[in-house]
Amino acid sequence: MTTFVDEVRLYLRAGDGGNGCMSIKREKFKPLAGPDGGNGGDAGDIVLVADPNVTTLLTYHHSPHQRSESGGFGMGDFRNGSKGADLELPVPVGTVVRDSDGEVIIDLDTPGLRYVAAQGGVGGLGNAALATSKRKAPGFALLGVPGDEAEIVLELKVVADVALVGFPSAGKSSLIAAMSAAKPKIADYPFTTLHPNLGVVEAGNHRFTIADVPGLIEGASEGRGLGLEFLRHVERCEALLHVLDCATLEPGRDPLSDLDIILRELDSYEVPEGQIPLTERPALVALNKVDVPDARELADFVRADLESRGFRVFEISTVSHEGLRELGFALGDLVEQGRAERAEETDQRERIVVRPRAVDNKPFEIRTEGGTYGTIYRILGRKPERWVAQTDFANDEAVGYLSDRLAKLGIEDALVKAGAQAGSMVVIGAGNGQIFDWEPTLASAAEVMTAHGTDPRLEERTRATRAERKAAYHEWMDAKAAAREQLEQERRAGLWQDADLVADQQQREAAAAANADAGHDDENAR
């Protein structure tokens, strides 16, 4: 079963902000007493904390998906939503945080250091907070902003003062067990440590940590064996202790050849920029297992060669504890020297100055992209993207409020300068984003239309005087009289006949004939 993990990939999802509430206060005799919708609560952040009590990333190996608490919804009667709790993820001191592309984000090498890996969403405002002197009772509220999503890689680099370097089964685990209270796995058969073990050593007034890291083999700098998994744990150590096995039974191996291979692999490993190469750091040599007669004889034989290379040599035995006291004091002196030098570098380190955002910093940018259906104008910026996420597009009043906010930010003027026309496709946000068919306001439309034609809404209009209106009326009446006269002359000339007039004439002639017949009958009767 896995007990130590020094690299893990985390998938973080911060909580969403709570939605604001749209509510109107209703009381007896006051059915519409004004807006009283509360604000939504902010969501919790996901924070990485360097904890000295944590030594492994095993917890996140089994639970790589982490999510913080969302904010509560706003309610009526001016009740705001609850704030989501932050999710703190304790990690070992010495954890390096990288993004999904492998770029270093932060190095948590100091106990208590905190880093916000995913920021929680902001809660939306209720209609009570949106009320103004002109908008006394808003019929909408803002939605909560979704939380950040992040994919990060945690890489553990053991923070220790001294690193034990040597071949597998050289006795490093036995040495750390003999010098400290650590209880690493030790057996009477050849095997290699699979994960670092830390131990605290007290030598007089010196107190330092010592790391038993996995064994090193030839080709480790190229990834053979545990390879880079071993070497990255050596980066942070102040000093190195080369543990050489003087009682090995493997053919072709001896302390000098083992040291040459180890130094070659250390020299081939590239440390991060600004750190001292591994071969240039203070180092001691421990000739181990001198409790064996043949091993002591070999240690006496190679001691002179090692000292001629500039190494300080100690003959030790983890069984009889021979030489361990002197070795502890020597390592303590190296650690104290390294700490003093590091303190001077810390004092000379350039301070980080946090400055406010520049006044002339643009809150957004517009990118022109070519698409299948024409030019696309993409708007990128934290403010417009957050405003779009807060808008309920099913509410026309909320959409109008968004339009006013974007116009005040200067987006419409920027679109005009970018060459956008009425009906152009505008996308706010990266990826799919929120798509709009841009319809400029009157002020922006004036700039668009005057550049490419005329707008009848902007043409100058003058009102006619009373005399002009009277003259136009008389002219219109004269034109109608002339038209009637012309029609009458054409009718008299027989060019056309009006069916109604002919029918009326026939009726009048029939009536006259009937009257004449009636008169003749009366005379005959007399």
Segment among 101-110, 155-164, 290-299, 479-488 with least mean pLDDT = 155-164
Q: What is the rounded distance in angstroms from the CA atom of residue 275 to the CA atom of residue 412? A: 51
How confident is the model at residue 239, as a pLDDT? 85
Average pLDDT, the chain: 80
Task: Find out whether 172 is annotated in a ligand binding site.
Answer: yes
Which DSSP category does 457 fall into?
G
> Given pLDDT bands bounded at 50, 70 and 90, which one contains residue 236?
confident
Task: Find out whether 212 is annotated in a ligand binding site.
Answer: yes
Task: Find out whether 252 is annotated in a ligand binding site.
Answer: no
* C-beta neighbour count of 10 within 10 angstroms: 23
Segment among 56-65, 236-245, 376-385 with least mean pLDDT = 236-245
Task: Find out whether 323 is annotated in a ligand binding site.
Answer: no
Using alpha carbons, select from 137, 124, 136, 144 the residue that is nearest to residue 23: 137
Tokens of 449: 């239309």
- Structural contact between residues 160 and 409, judged by C-beta atoms closer than 8 angstroms: no
Cα of first residue to Cα of last residue in the chain, in angstroms, is 148
Which DSSP category does 274 fall into?
T
How confident is the model at residue 79, as a pLDDT? 94
Using alpha carbons, select from 297, 285, 294 the residue that is nearest to residue 323: 285
> Given pLDDT bands bounded at 50, 70 and 90, which one contains residue 360?
low
Q: What is the rounded distance in angstroms from the CA atom of residue 332 to the CA atom of residue 85? A: 44
Q: Can you spell out the DSSP letters for 228-258?
A: HHHHGGGTT-SEEEEEEESS--STT--HHHH
Is the model's pLDDT at 347 over the cut of 80? no
- Structural contact between residues 71 and 120, judged by C-beta atoms closer than 8 angstroms: yes
Distance of CA 39 to the CA centre of its chain: 24
> Given pLDDT bands bounded at 50, 70 and 90, which one contains residue 237?
confident
Q: Report the percent of the chain where pLDDT is more than 90.
A: 21
Query: Averaged over 147-170, what is the pLDDT?
Result: 84
> Given pLDDT bands bounded at 50, 70 and 90, which one contains residue 453?
very low
Is the model's pLDDT at 452 over the cut of 80? no
Q: Report the percent of the chain where pLDDT is more than 70.
A: 79
Task: Find out whether 213 is annotated in a ligand binding site.
Answer: yes
Task: Find out whether 436 is annotated in a ligand binding site.
Answer: no
Task: Find out whether 170 is annotated in a ligand binding site.
Answer: yes
Task: Find out whether 480 is annotated in a ligand binding site.
Answer: no
- Structural contact between residues 15 and 44, judged by C-beta atoms closer than 8 angstroms: yes
- Structural contact between residues 83 and 34, judged by C-beta atoms closer than 8 angstroms: no
Tokens of 431: 């990826």
172-186, 220-234, 406-420 — which one is most confidently predicted on average?
A: 406-420
366-393 per-position pLDDT tens digit: 888 876 667 888 999 889 999 999 999 8
Per 3-state DSSP, the chain is made up of helix, strand and coil in percentages (nearest 5) of 35, 20, 45
* C-beta neighbour count of 145 within 10 angstroms: 25
Task: Find out whether 78 is annotated in a ligand binding site.
Answer: no
Tokens of 326: 């002197």
How confident is the model at residue 70, as a pLDDT? 95
* Of 65 and 290, more confident: 65
Query: Averaged over 404-415, what is the pLDDT?
Result: 88
Residue showing tokens 């609560």 = 41
Task: Find out whether 183 is annotated in a ligand binding site.
Answer: no
Task: Find out whether 308 is annotated in a ligand binding site.
Answer: no
* C-beta neighbour count of 59 within 10 angstroms: 14
Task: Find out whether 291 is annotated in a ligand binding site.
Answer: yes
Residue 153 φ/ψ, nearest 5 degrees: -120, 125
SS3 of residue 187 by DSSP: coil
How confident is the model at residue 338, as a pLDDT? 79
Segment among 120-129, 213-222, 336-345 with least mean pLDDT = 213-222
Task: Find out whether 198 is annotated in a ligand binding site.
Answer: no
Task: Find out whether 290 is annotated in a ligand binding site.
Answer: yes
Is the model's pLDDT at 143 over the cut of 90? yes
* Of 159 and 75, more confident: 75
76-98 per-position pLDDT tens digit: 999 999 999 999 999 988 888 99
Task: Find out whether 375 is annotated in a ligand binding site.
Answer: no
Query: Averaged over 313-338, what is the pLDDT?
Result: 87
Task: Find out whether 215 is annotated in a ligand binding site.
Answer: yes
Tokens of 99: 């993004």
DSSP β-ladder status, 46-51 and 114-118 = antiparallel
How confident is the model at residue 129, as a pLDDT? 93
> Given pLDDT bands bounded at 50, 70 and 90, which one contains residue 182?
low
Residue 438 φ/ψ, nearest 5 degrees: -70, 125
Is the model's pLDDT at 3 over the cut of 80? no
How confident is the model at residue 128, as a pLDDT? 93
Contacts of 243 (CB under 8 A, 6+ apart): 164, 165, 166, 170, 171, 172, 175, 286, 288
How confident is the model at residue 9, as a pLDDT? 93
Distance of CA 235 to the CA centre of its chain: 30
Task: Find out whether 363 is annotated in a ligand binding site.
Answer: no
Residue showing tokens 């190229």 = 222
Enumerate the β-bridge partners of residue 393. none
Task: Find out whether 55 is annotated in a ligand binding site.
Answer: no
Tokens of 279: 């071969």
Task: Find out whether 416 is annotated in a ligand binding site.
Answer: no
How confident is the model at residue 69, as a pLDDT? 95
How confident is the model at residue 243, as a pLDDT? 87
Task: Find out whether 432 is annotated in a ligand binding site.
Answer: no
How confident is the model at residue 187, as a pLDDT? 45
* Of 237 and 187, more confident: 237
29-50 per-position pLDDT tens digit: 877 788 999 999 999 999 999 9
Residue 46 parent element (H or E): strand 46-51
How confident is the model at residue 196, as a pLDDT? 66
> Given pLDDT bands bounded at 50, 70 and 90, which one contains residue 10?
very high
Q: Can you spell out the DSSP letters for 314-382?
A: EE--TTT-TTHHHHHHHHHHHHHHHHHHHHHHHHHSPPP---PPPTT--S-EEEEEEETTEEEEEEE-H
Is the model's pLDDT at 222 over the cut of 50? no
How confident is the model at residue 191, as a pLDDT? 41
CA 121 → CA 69, 99, 128, 307, distances in Å? 10, 21, 21, 62
Helices (H), 90-203: 127-130, 172-179
Task: Find out whether 254 is annotated in a ligand binding site.
Answer: no
Task: Find out whether 318 is annotated in a ligand binding site.
Answer: yes
Is the model's pLDDT at 444 over the cut of 60? no
Is the model's pLDDT at 458 over the cut of 60? no
- Structural contact between residues 114 and 62, judged by C-beta atoms closer than 8 angstroms: no
How confident is the model at residue 192, as a pLDDT? 47
Contacts of 341 (CB under 8 A, 6+ apart): none
* C-beta neighbour count of 108 within 10 angstroms: 24
How confident is the model at residue 21, as a pLDDT? 94
